[in-house]
């Protein structure tokens, strides 16, 4: 592609356009998310939420008990009215001829295995969906929310929701799901979707196919938003430079500046590509896939820089590109796991793709030559190890490394298939609690019970019985009576083995899931002040959440639940928001997700043995 062709494609014509649709105007410049997620990847400021204000009585009721007063009722204390008075729990029997309300009917679930209600996007147009997504920090740093979010944005939609869904997948780093969306030919009919597909293909290393679509999209740039047309302009300069015409980057930089592109890192990278020099990136620059591909042309890719500054889209894209340098790909995959972007299986694939010397795998507990590949070395060695004791030792070392690196839960799920092969009992009793944790996170509740039985000598009342109570909360297919192991938790609570915050979270989760809360557990929890920390949404969100769930508007309920919980999900939510979200998700047929959120709220602080 010569300079004349580039100039013709990327002429400085007006890029202002309108995205027409019948659902109501979103904006002329399509920005489905607010300024916390700027289009060119400027680093969003991740701040701890300020201390939550005292709940307003008009919005929030006491979540599960009368403060500091044990409830006389077996299911827990009554919820309060907006005026602070307990509701009358007397049952009024409706006449037999009373009409059935929609909220009383069980939701109809889809038959595609997604676990979502049928017509999940029903009742939500593109404008409202964009408004709700604007209040979310993507991707969520919660395994439970990520699981739910991935399924929602992967669910087929129609009209303008499809383009919004594609952008949401990209911003969340869910690149495999985005590729599946673009694999359908009918999705590339519009210039908007063609431009989004071009950006995706270049991101994951499919340069030829992506550059072909860039040329098609640039030719119809007046049908794109200004933001996306600007990105096509930069990508056209990248394509020409990657093909050997470095001077095209200089022209693209000039045109981008004229068109109002203000991303300093992007403009600096175009100048560096043209001058064949290392770029001088701003300290606060985040790296998008477009930044990274330009950075590759300069030959100045730093794995640690990618892991530290990479956006979700970049981290997810590099996991799918086997041509990327090993260190860069592993660093990106681990950063993606830390941000809870990719699946544990995807992280395992990246680890397996690495090559190690025979002595590194024979002695994996001795660190190898490359510290960036340390966890990959341990995982590959654990997979190849056949001796149960040695495998257990390697897995414990891997989990200790992952805990320090900040993605312990992900590696628990990663290690679960290997932990299943370890004999339960005998000289491996020291591995019991680790085996319980891996089995819990992977949903293997039979193994949880087996490990607990071994640790307790096969008797009821063993020191790990409290883990069975957590298994009961998580397991939708629990076969025994619900709450059968809560007495073990009650005993530990009385003995002071639960923190005050965990006690309140536990009471909240149990009440929201309709468990019979043991009286002593209730008494101990209510004897301590109600915690007022954690993410509490602005006034009105929980009311809207309740209305959406009662009207069976599934997508709206999910988006409001994510907004109510905050980016850290159940673990970081205020107990009022936690209880209301669990109830709302159950109401729309998402009990498994409600239980996962409840489990997540408890798992991190659950009592563990001193030797663990």
**Same-domain check for residues 347 and 375:** yes
Together in a domain, 129 and 246: no
Q: Do residues 153 and 172 make contact, with C-beta atoms less than 8 angstroms apart?
A: yes
pLDDT band at 218 (very low <50, low <70, confident <90, very high): confident
Residue 98 lies in a domain: no
In a domain, 383, yes or no: yes
Tokens of 524: 């101990």
Whether 231 maps to a domain, the answer reads: yes
The pLDDT score that the predictor gives to residue 596 is 97
Based on the domain organization, do 289 and 430 belong to the same domain?
A: no
Q: What angle separates helix 126-134 from helix 160-171, to the nearest 10 degrees?
A: 20
Domain shared by 130 and 248, yes or no:
no
pLDDT tens per residue, range 127-178:
899 999 988 988 999 999 999 999 999 888 777 788 888 889 999 999 999 9
> Averaged over 296-314, what is the pLDDT?
91
pLDDT at 446 over 80: yes
Confirm if 571 and 551 have CB atoms less than 8 A apart.
no
pLDDT at 382: 96
Report the domain count for the chain. Answer: 3
Q: What gap in Å lies between CA 7 and CA 12, rounded to an integer?
A: 9
User: Who has greater pLDDT, 8 or 294?
Assistant: 294
Q: What is the mean pLDDT of residues 40-55?
A: 44
Mapping DSSP to helix (H, G, I), strand (E, B) and coil, where does residue 323 land? coil
Helix (H) or strand (E) run with residue 461 in it: none
**Are 586 and 594 a contacting pair, CB within 8 Å?**
yes
Which residue, of 459, 493, 519, is where some domain finishes?
A: 459
Please write the tens of the pLDDT for every residue from 65-99.
Answer: 433 333 334 444 444 444 444 444 344 444 444 44
117 phi/psi in degrees, rounded to 5: -65, 155
Q: Region 213-233: what's the mean pLDDT?
A: 84
**Could you list the residue range(s) of the whole structural domain that residue 196 is in?**
3-23+159-335
| Helices 519-526/500-512 angle, 10° precision | 130
How far, rounded to the nearest angstrom, does the alpha carbon of residue 201 sit from its chain's CA centroid? 23
> Which pLDDT belongs to residue 528?
87
* Cβ(196)–Cβ(163) below 8 Å: yes
Residue 83 lies inside a defined structural domain of this protein:
no
Please check whether residues 18 and 164 belong to one and the same domain.
yes
Cα–Cα distance list, 182 to 114, 412, 423, 542 (Å)? 19, 32, 45, 35
Q: Has residue 134 been placed in a domain?
A: yes
**Residue at 90 is within a domain:** no
Burial (Cβ within 10 Å: 0-12, 13-18, ≥19) of residue 86: middle
Q: Of 335, 364, 392, which residue is a domain's last? A: 335
Among the ranges given (54-63, 284-293, 321-330, 437-446), the one the predictor scored with the smallest mean pLDDT: 54-63
Any alpha helices (H) in 116-159, and if so which ranges? 126-134, 143-154
Tokens matching residue 479: 């076969």
Same domain, yes or no: 331 and 350: no
Of 405, 410, 401, 476, nearest to 437 (Cα)? 410
The verdict on 235 and 274 lying in the same domain is yes
User: Measuring CA to CA, which residue among 351, 308, 300, 352 is closest to residue 330?
Assistant: 351
In this structure, are 489 and 547 located in the same domain?
Answer: yes
Q: How far apart are CA 118 and CA 107, in angstroms?
A: 8
Whether residue 232 sits in one domain with residue 256: yes
Reference 603, options 401, 402, 439, 381; nearest CA is 439
Last residue of a domain, one of 315, 335, 355: 335
pLDDT the model gives residue 134 = 87
DSSP 386: -
Residue 225 lies in a domain: yes
Q: Which of 78-82, 273-277, 341-345 has the lowest mean pLDDT?
A: 78-82
How much of the chain exceeds pLDDT 90, in percent?
Answer: 52
CB 396 within 8 A of CB 612: no
**Residue 101: inside a domain, yes or no?**
no
Contact between 286 and 250 under an 8 Å Cβ cutoff? The reply is: no
Q: Are 330 and 344 members of one domain?
A: no
202 versus 14: the higher-pLDDT residue is: 202
Torsion of Cα atoms, 61 then 62 then 64 then 70, to 10°: -150
Name the 3-class secondary structure at 23. Answer: coil
Query: For residue 461, what pLDDT is reported?
Result: 58
Determine the 3-state secondary structure of 255 from DSSP.
Answer: helix
- Are residues 326 and 297 located together in one domain of the fold? yes
Q: Are residues 427 and 361 in the same domain?
A: yes
Of 442-451, 456-465, 506-515, where does mean pLDDT reach its minimum? 456-465
DSSP secondary structure code for residue 573 in this structure:
B
């Amino acid at each position: 592609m010569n300079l004349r062709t580039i100039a013709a494609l990327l002429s400085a014509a007006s890029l202002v356009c309108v995205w027409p649709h019948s659902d109501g105007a979103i904006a002329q410049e399509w920005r489905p998310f607010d300024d916390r997620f700027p289009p060119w990847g400027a680093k969003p400021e991740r701040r701890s939420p300020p201390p939550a204000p005292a709940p307003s009585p008009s919005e929030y009721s006491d979540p599960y008990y009368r403060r500091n007063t044990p409830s006389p009722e077996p299911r827990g204390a009554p919820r309060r009215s907006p005026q602070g008075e307990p509701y009358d729990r007397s049952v009024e029997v409706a006449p037999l001829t009373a009409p059935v309300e929609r909220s009383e009917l069980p939701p109809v679930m889809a038959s595609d295995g997604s676990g979502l209600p049928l017509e999940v996007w029903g009742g939500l147009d593109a404008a409202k969906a964009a408004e709700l997504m604007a209040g979310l920090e993507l991707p969520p740093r919660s395994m439970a929310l990520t699981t739910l979010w991935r399924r929602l944005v992967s669910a087929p939609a129609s009209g303008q929701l499809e383009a919004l869904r594609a952008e949401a997948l990209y911003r969340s780093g869910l690149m495999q799901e985005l590729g599946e969306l673009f694999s359908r030919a009918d999705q590339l009919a519009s210039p908007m979707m063609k431009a989004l597909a071009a950006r995706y293909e270049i991101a994951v290393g499919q340069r030829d196919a992506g550059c072909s679509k860039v040329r098609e999209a640039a030719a119809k740039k007046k049908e794109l938003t200004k933001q996306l047309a600007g990105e096509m302009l930069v990508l056209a300069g990248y394509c020409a430079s990657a093909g050997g015409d470095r001077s095209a980057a200089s022209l693209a930089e000039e045109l981008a500046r004229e068109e109002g592109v203000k991303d300093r890192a992007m403009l600096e990278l175009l100048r560096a590509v043209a001058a064949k020099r290392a770029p001088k990136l701003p300290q606060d620059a985040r790296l998008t896939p477009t930044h990274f591909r330009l950075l590759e042309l300069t030959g100045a890719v730093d794995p640690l820089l990618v892991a530290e500054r990479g956006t979700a889209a970049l981290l997810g894209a590099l996991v799918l590109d086997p041509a990327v340098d090993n260190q860069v790909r592993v660093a990106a995959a681990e950063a993606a796991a830390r941000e809870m972007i990719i699946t544990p299986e995807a992280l395992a694939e990246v680890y397996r793709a690495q090559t190690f010397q025979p002595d590194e795998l024979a002695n994996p507990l001795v660190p190898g030559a490359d510290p960036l590949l340390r966890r990959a070395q341990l995982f590959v060695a654990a997979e190849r190890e056949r001796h149960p004791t040695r495998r257990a030792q390697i897995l414990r070392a891997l989990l200790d490394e992952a805990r320090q690196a900040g993605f312990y839960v992900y590696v628990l799920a990663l290690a679960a298939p290997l932990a299943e092969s370890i004999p339960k009992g005998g000289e491996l009793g020291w591995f019991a609690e680790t085996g319980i944790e891996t089995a819990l996170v992977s949903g293997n509740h039979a193994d949880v019970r087996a490990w607990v039985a071994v640790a307790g000598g096969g008797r009821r009342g063993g020191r790990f019985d409290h883990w069975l109570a957590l298994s009961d909360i998580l397991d939708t297919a629990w076969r025994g009576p619900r709450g059968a192991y809560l007495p073990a938790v009650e005993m530990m609570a009385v003995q002071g083995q639960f923190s005050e915050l965990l006690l309140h979270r536990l009471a909240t989760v149990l009440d929201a899931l309709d468990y019979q809360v043991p009286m002593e557990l209730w008494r101990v929890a209510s004897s301590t002040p109600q915690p007022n920390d954690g993410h509490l949404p602005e006034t009105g969100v929980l009311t809207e959440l309740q209305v959406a769930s009662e009207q069976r508007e599934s997508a709206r309920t999910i988006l409001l639940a994510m907004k109510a919980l905050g980016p850290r999900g159940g673990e970081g939510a205020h107990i009022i928001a936690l209880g209301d979200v669990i109830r709302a998700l159950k109401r729309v047929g998402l009990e498994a997700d409600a239980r996962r959120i409840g489990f997540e709220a408890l798992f991190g602080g659950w009592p563990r043995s001193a030797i663990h």
